[in-house]
């Protein structure tokens, strides 16, 4: 099992939900309002007057074989909307119920 963390501009929410549906990933935890800024470029997402946009973040626990297709779909979405900003990471999960 892997934990997959997705962080993206709120404007991409419908696209992210569609990707999860298409990948057969039903369960996740979502933080609707998260702040951040890119590590290389892009505008901050702080929800302030100066930087009004916000991010959302999702954590999903998925089977190992679901990781590569999910990451590829998320990467393609990011490439088609680079100015919006999106990042994804995954790591191993041990235990749980």
- The full set of domain ranges for the chain reads 2-92
Q: What is the pLDDT of residue 82?
A: 74
Give the residue among 26, 27, 85, 17 at the shortest CA–CA distance from 55.
Answer: 85
pLDDT tier for residue 28 given thresholds of 50, 70 and 90: very high
Q: What is the pLDDT of residue 27?
A: 96
Question: Has domain 2-92 been given CATH number 3.30.70.120?
Answer: yes
Could you tell me if residue 11 is left (phi over 0), alpha (psi between -120 and 50 degrees) or otherwise beta? alpha
Q: Which tens digits make up the pLDDT trace of 34-87?
A: 998 877 777 888 989 999 999 999 999 999 999 999 999 999 999 998 778 899
Q: What is the pLDDT of residue 75?
A: 95
Q: What is the pLDDT of residue 57?
A: 98
């Amino acid at each position: 099992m892997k934990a997959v963390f997705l962080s993206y501009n709120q404007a991409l929410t419908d696209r992210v939900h569609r990707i999860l549906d298409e990948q057969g990933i039903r369960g996740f935890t979502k933080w609707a309002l998260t702040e951040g800024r890119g590590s290389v470029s892009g505008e901050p997402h702080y929800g302030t007057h100066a930087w009004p946009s916000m991010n959302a973040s999702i954590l999903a626990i998925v089977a190992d074989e679901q990781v590569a297709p999910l990451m590829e779909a998320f990467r393609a979405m990011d490439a088609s909307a680079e100015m919006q900003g999106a990042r994804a990471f995954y790591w191993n999960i041990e235990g749980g119920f």
